[in-house]
Amino acid sequence: MFELTSEVQFALEATRQAGLLAAQVEKELVTAALTKDDRSPVTVADYAAQAVVAAALQRAFPADRLVAEEESGLLRQPQAQDALLLVTQYVRRVEPDADENVICEWIERGNGSTEGHFWTLDPLDGTKGFLRGDQYAVALALIKDGRVQLGVLACPKLNPAGQPSKEGEGALFVAQRGQGAWVTSLHQPQDYRRLRVSNQADVQQARLLRSFESGHTDAEKIEAFARYLNIQAAPLRLDSQAKYALLADGKGELLLRLLSPSKPDYREKIWDQATGSILLEEAGGKITDLRGKALDFSQGRTLRQNRGVLASNGVLHDLALAALKAVGAVPDEAQ
């Protein structure tokens, strides 16, 4: 069993509360979406979850920095007043004394610096999945000197057996550096089960974990990759870092984030990869960029020294790297 330090206790409870709150928003059909500059949807659940985690961090570790996805600027605009009222109503279920100004201040805590010791949060990973009623997650990770040390993932639509469960108890995943990866119930966290990656060594039987959304990847190159390796197994499609949880739990063997032709200069955000990466590594898997380089979390809010992501059960990693190169999915060093 992992060591239940004060940091682990905080991360488990804060992520759990945010995951349960997001599930309440989704269940009550609060899917009013604002729009960011990049046109991606942002829901009331995004802001509420970030506020709840930031408030908990402020109590538990007031000196710790938070690097998170959302900012409160959009919420403060007059046209977003209805959304802010909804966010406030939901946050008050966890923080009864919160007002709109305090909630916006909590959200703004996510603008912390990325030096040394800090937390990174994706308050609602898989927003489009959330809006469709499919998989989404709350992902919190602790990074120290550029290396992920702790990660917690709340998946309201997975059960502790790692199966999709639309009306189930939800799953809470945790990984601590050197102490394994584990899962328990989101609603009633008690018994923890240790996660292990698949030992499948036959690449033709490898299950690819794929997103429904293709905005940050190259679907054609993924198809070419599968053909090159003669993969026969049907892919598993789901949104969010829930894919990493299933990979860590032996429910798949390969996961790709290729460079989208429409976004050749895109760099992965640290909150999209930190929690999933430690879950996978602590379950015995491997994660690198498309060139085989380790993910470098010391470069700010993005993985700017890395291009794309390859995650695997470890056994198939080198074969997958070679296949990516063969089908032209590996970017030039100059890019």
pLDDT digits (tens, 9 = 90+) for 7-35: 999 999 999 999 999 999 988 864 455 55
* φ, ψ (nearest 5 deg) of residue 259: -80, 125
Answer yes or no: is pLDDT of 38 > 80.
no
Q: What is the mean pLDDT of residues 30-42?
A: 51
pLDDT at residue 30, as a whole number? 44
Percent of the chain with pLDDT over 90: 80
23-32, 110-119, 282-291: the lowest-pLDDT one:
23-32
Per-residue model confidence as pLDDT tens digits over 211-241: 887 667 899 999 999 999 999 999 999 999 9
Point out the catalytic residue in the list 127, 217, 275, 288.
127
Strands 309-312 and 286-288: antiparallel
pLDDT at residue 242, as a whole number? 97
Answer yes or no: is pLDDT of 40 > 90.
no
Q: Is 146 left (phi over 0), alpha (psi -120 to 50) or beta?
A: left
pLDDT at residue 166, as a whole number? 81
pLDDT at residue 152, as a whole number? 99
Q: What is the mean pLDDT of residues 319-330?
A: 97
46 is catalytic: yes
pLDDT bucket at 39, cuts 50 / 70 / 90: very low
Average pLDDT, the chain: 93
Angstrom distance (rounded) from CA 252 to CA 300? 30
Answer yes or no: is pLDDT of 188 > 90.
yes
SS3 letters across the chain: CCCCCHHHHHHHHHHHHHHHHHHHHHHCCCCCEEECCCCCEEEHHHHHHHHHHHHHHHHHCCCCEEEECCCCCCCCCHHHHHHHHHHHHHHCCCCCCCCHHHHHHHHHCCECCCCCEEEEEEEEECHHHHHHCCCCEEEEEEEECCEEEEEEEEECCECCCCCECCCCCCEEEEEECCCCEEEEECCCCCCCEECCCCCCCCHHHCCEEECCCCCCCCHHHHHHHHHHCCCCCCCEECCCCHHHHHHHCCCCCEEEECCCCCCCCCCCEHHHCHHHHHHHHHCCCEEECCCCCCCCCCCCCECCCCCCEEEECCCCHHHHHHHHHHCCCCCCCCC
Per-residue model confidence as pLDDT tens digits over 260-271: 898 888 999 999
Q: What is the mean pLDDT of residues 91-107?
A: 98
Q: What is the mean pLDDT of residues 58-80?
A: 94
Structural domains in the chain, sorted by start: 6-194 (3.30.540.10), 203-326 (3.40.190.80)
Answer yes or no: is pLDDT of 89 > 50.
yes
Q: For residues 127 and 250, which has the higher predicted lDDT (pLDDT)? A: 250
Identify whether the C-beta of residue 246 lies closer than 8 Å to the C-beta of residue 311.
Answer: no
| pTM (two decimals) | 0.95
Answer yes or no: is pLDDT of 282 > 60.
yes
Point out the catalytic residue in the list 15, 43, 46, 88.
46
Answer yes or no: is pLDDT of 335 > 70.
no
Query: Listing from the earlier edge strand, what are the strands of the sheet with 117-125?
Result: 65-68, 117-125, 137-144, 147-155, 171-176, 181-185, 193-194
Query: Sign of the CA dihedral 287, 293, 294, 298?
Result: negative
Q: Which amino acid is at 241?
A: Q
